[in-house]
Structure 1
Amino acid sequence: MLWGKFPVSASWKPKQIRYSERWFEVFENSDEDLIEVKIGALIMDPNTNTPIVVLKGVDSDAVLPIWVGSFEANAIALEVEKIVPQRPMTHDLLRNLILELGLSASRVIVTDLLNNTFYASIELINSAGDPVILDSRPSDAIALALRLDCPIYVKQKVLDLSASSRKDDSDPDSGDLGPAPDDWPELIG
């Protein structure tokens, strides 16, 4: 058996990669459209018992709640509390890999909100100074940003979509969604 050699038929062609329009928007990030945020709070949604990471504007009153999984919330909480596990967790492993490969973290951006799903990108810089942009879930991007000590941004469009989404979902027949966006600053102080 030859390692690294795989039989390929003459008719084999690589699959064409399809990128969504959303992916190309990652490259159109204008700093004017970005709001720098930090972790404002990590709370539990009392209705769904799901963790929520509340991002709060550094120089603005922007507030963005993002519902995340329990494992991701735990990874974020460990880093916020500066608790070092005995063995590296997944996000620690990713940080170590990024640093060992000679990459540096530039920033993390929450880039979009589609069908109640947030999207993010992790922007790295390679040793040649070229950007390396990775598509990510916001929870993973935030956990990694905390470990790499890089800034977190949210596109203004996402804040606008989130606010309008919460207003659209405030129909009494749709169930109790918890506090309205205007009430978030009270929850996180």
Structure 2
Amino acid sequence: MPEVRVMALGVDPQGSRPLLVLQETDGRGRVLPIAVGIPEAQAVELERSGARPERPQTHALICNVVEALGHRIEGVRITEIRDGIYHAELRLDRGVTVSSRLTDAVTLALHLELPILVEEDVLAAGATELAVVNVEDDQDEEIAVDESGEPVVDPDEVEAFRKFLDQASPEDFDKPS
């Protein structure tokens, strides 16, 4: 079963919904763009940034409850697409699985630094191939990458996206095209 990582959070090309972009870690490097809600995008970004609020967010609360009940979350799986909605499950110790929304599962995986696995048929149905291109700007400077080869993210762009998420309302996404 292919493993993916959170590659990016962004906005769909029409600028109407946040997108969670998962990238296959091995193999073909396919990407799986998934439209998500604003609160879900905020939760994922909070985990990606490593912020730890004073009070536990819902995903941290779930981890605490699972642990208090004597279990441990070992991983998450994206199991299917049904009626255009991605479904996931949490894999706990002792063979226990629990149905989950995709964004909750991904946020928990980030929080606990767990692998995110995707059923091959789900990845095949929703993913696109990632084309890697050596892009240069007008001044012939290459785009900066970190030690893992990932593009260095402009902090101003991240901050602008955070502000967008903080100020957006559900009505912003229901406008006809």
What's the TM-score, normalizing by structure 1? 0.65
Unpaired stretches in structure 1, ≥5 consecutive residues: 1-33, 164-180
Unpaired stretches in structure 2, ≥5 consecutive residues: 134-149, 152-177
Q: Deviations over 1:31-55 (max 9, x none)?
A: xxx1011111111114152111111
In structure 2, the partner of 1:62 is: 30
In structure 2, the partner of 1:145 is: 109
Q: CA deviation at 1:183?
A: 5.7
Greater gyration radius: 1
One-letter amino acid matched to 2:21 = V
One-letter amino acid matched to 1:57 = E
Q: CA deviation at 1:106?
A: 1.7
Q: CA deviation at 1:107?
A: 1.3
Q: Deviations over 1:108-151 (max 9, x none)?
A: 011111221111111111xxxx2111111111100111112211
Q: 1:136 to 1:87 in 2, by over 3 A?
A: same
* Separation (CA, whole Å) in 2 of partners of 1:92 and 1:38: 19
- % same residue: 37
What's the TM-score, normalizing by structure 2? 0.69
Superposed, 1:120-135 pairs within 5 Å as 120-125=88-93, 130-135=94-99
1:161 pairs, out of 109, 118, 125, with 125
* Separation (CA, whole Å) in 1 of partners of 2:85 and 2:132: 22
In structure 2, the partner of 1:170 is: none
Verify: 1:91 aligned to 2:59, yes or no.
Answer: yes
Q: 1:184 to 1:85 in 2, by over 3 A?
A: farther
* Separation (CA, whole Å) in 2 of partners of 1:36 and 1:136: 17
* Separation (CA, whole Å) in 2 of partners of 1:57 and 1:110: 12
What is the RMSD of the two structures over their aligned residues, measured on CA atoms?
1.9
**Aligned residue-pair number:** 134
One-letter amino acid matched to 2:36 = V
The answer as to whether partners of 1:39 and 1:55 remain within 8 angstroms in 2 is yes
* Separation (CA, whole Å) in 2 of partners of 1:44 and 1:184: 19
